[in-house]
């Protein structure tokens, strides 16, 4: 993949084999014993149809949490869930994940497995030609026009308290989208929001964003402001759709866990057609 191009897709791309890979094993709860591979740059966990890991239980929020793979680090982000997300028995909002962490979303307990690239793979990383990450990502307040610097590695855009960039508009979902860097490029990821996401007028689920781009969340337009490092050439406009590092696949790579899974055989990998 040429990193000078843009990603514009209806599903998050599959991460490179040179990036860390994440697996969740169900340690307790319906589906105990299943192993779920999270191969994409962004994976939603929640009760809604469309989540990568669908937890069918009344205690689980529509979009409860997300696991983000930037290509270098793995992050857990709670999405203002009603009953919370717990990492190693502590309430979690925004945390970097490590191998052998314990993740709890009632009534499920998961064990986190992070598989790093081999020593040979690490030697190949020098050939990727990654551009440096932006110095800062900001959004222009739609009312005051003040530029707000986003404070975290993974930033939640939504309505009300708890969001890193809050927009008080009824067309905005409580947890609407995430902004983070993927392969050093700023991207935005829609969280199954009710009114969707557009970048420069184009509907997308996962898209690269650049300085002066306009993202539309519900009925609200927000301008992106990015401070680039000096080594990167600034380019504006709406990028073309490109091929992901691996085939994008279909929604068939999603996993549903519910009460019916209790009677299934234990200690086996969850089936998936995702590459």
Q: Which of 95-99, 148-152, 177-181, 265-269 has the lowest mean pLDDT?
A: 265-269
142: helix, strand or coil:
coil
pLDDT band with cut points at 50, 70 and 90 for residue 275: very low
pLDDT at residue 219, rounded to an integer: 97
pTM as predicted = 0.81
Residue with tokens 């270098």: 72
Give percent above pLDDT 90 in the chain: 69
Beta strands in 62-164 (DSSP E): 65-69, 74-78, 85-87, 90-92, 94-96, 102-105, 108-115, 136-140, 147-149, 155-158
pLDDT at residue 251, rounded to an integer: 35
Backbone dihedral angles phi then psi of residue 27, each to the nearest 5 degrees: -85, -30
Q: How far is CA 162 from the centre of its chain?
A: 17
The residue that leads in pLDDT, 156 or 252, is: 156
pLDDT at residue 252, rounded to an integer: 41
Per residue in 177-206, pLDDT tens? 999 999 989 999 999 999 999 999 999 999
Per residue in 8-51, pLDDT tens? 899 999 998 889 999 999 999 999 999 999 999 999 999 999 99
pLDDT of 235 over the 50 cut: no
pLDDT at residue 31, rounded to an integer: 94
CA distances, 14 to each of 17, 37, 205, 265 (Å): 9, 11, 14, 28
pLDDT at residue 253, rounded to an integer: 57
Burial (CB count within 10 angstroms: exposed 0-12, middle 13-18, buried 19+), residue 139: buried
Asked if 206 and 12 count as a contact pair (C-beta separation under 8 A), the reply is yes
Per residue in 80-97, pLDDT tens? 999 999 999 999 999 999
Asked if 197 and 217 count as a contact pair (C-beta separation under 8 A), the reply is yes
């Amino acid at each position: 993949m040429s990193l000078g191009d843009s990603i514009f897709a209806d599903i998050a791309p599959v991460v490179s084999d040179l990036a860390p890979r994440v697996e969740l094993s169900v340690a307790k709860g319906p589906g105990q014993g299943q192993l779920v591979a999270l191969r994409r740059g962004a994976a939603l966990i929640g009760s809604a149809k469309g989540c990568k890991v669908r937890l069918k239980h009344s205690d689980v929020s529509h979009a409860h949490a997300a696991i983000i793979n930037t290509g270098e680090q793995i992050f857990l982000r709670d999405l203002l869930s009603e009953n919370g997300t717990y990492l190693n028995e502590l309430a979690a909002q925004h945390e970097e994940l490590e191998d052998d962490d314990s993740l709890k979303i009632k009534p499920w307990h998961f064990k986190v497995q992070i598989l790093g690239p081999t020593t040979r793979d690490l030697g190949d990383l020098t050939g990727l030609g990654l551009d440096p990450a932006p110095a800062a990502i900001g959004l222009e307040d739609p009312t005051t026009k003040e530029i707000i610097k986003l404070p975290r590695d993974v930033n939640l855009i939504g309505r009300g308290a708890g969001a890193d960039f809050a927009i008080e508009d009824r067309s905005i979902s409580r947890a609407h989208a995430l902004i983070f860097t993927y392969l050093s490029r700023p991207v935005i990821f829609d969280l199954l929001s009710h009114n969707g996401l557009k970048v420069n007028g184009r509907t997308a689920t996962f898209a690269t964003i650049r300085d002066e781009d306009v993202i539309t969340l519900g009925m609200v337009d927000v301008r992106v402001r990015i401070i680039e490092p000096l080594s990167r050439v600034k380019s504006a406009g709406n990028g073309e759709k490109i091929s992901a590092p691996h085939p994008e696949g279909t929604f068939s790579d999603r996993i549903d866990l519910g009460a019916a899974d209790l009677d299934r055989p234990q200690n086996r990998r969850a089936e998936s057609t995702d590459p």
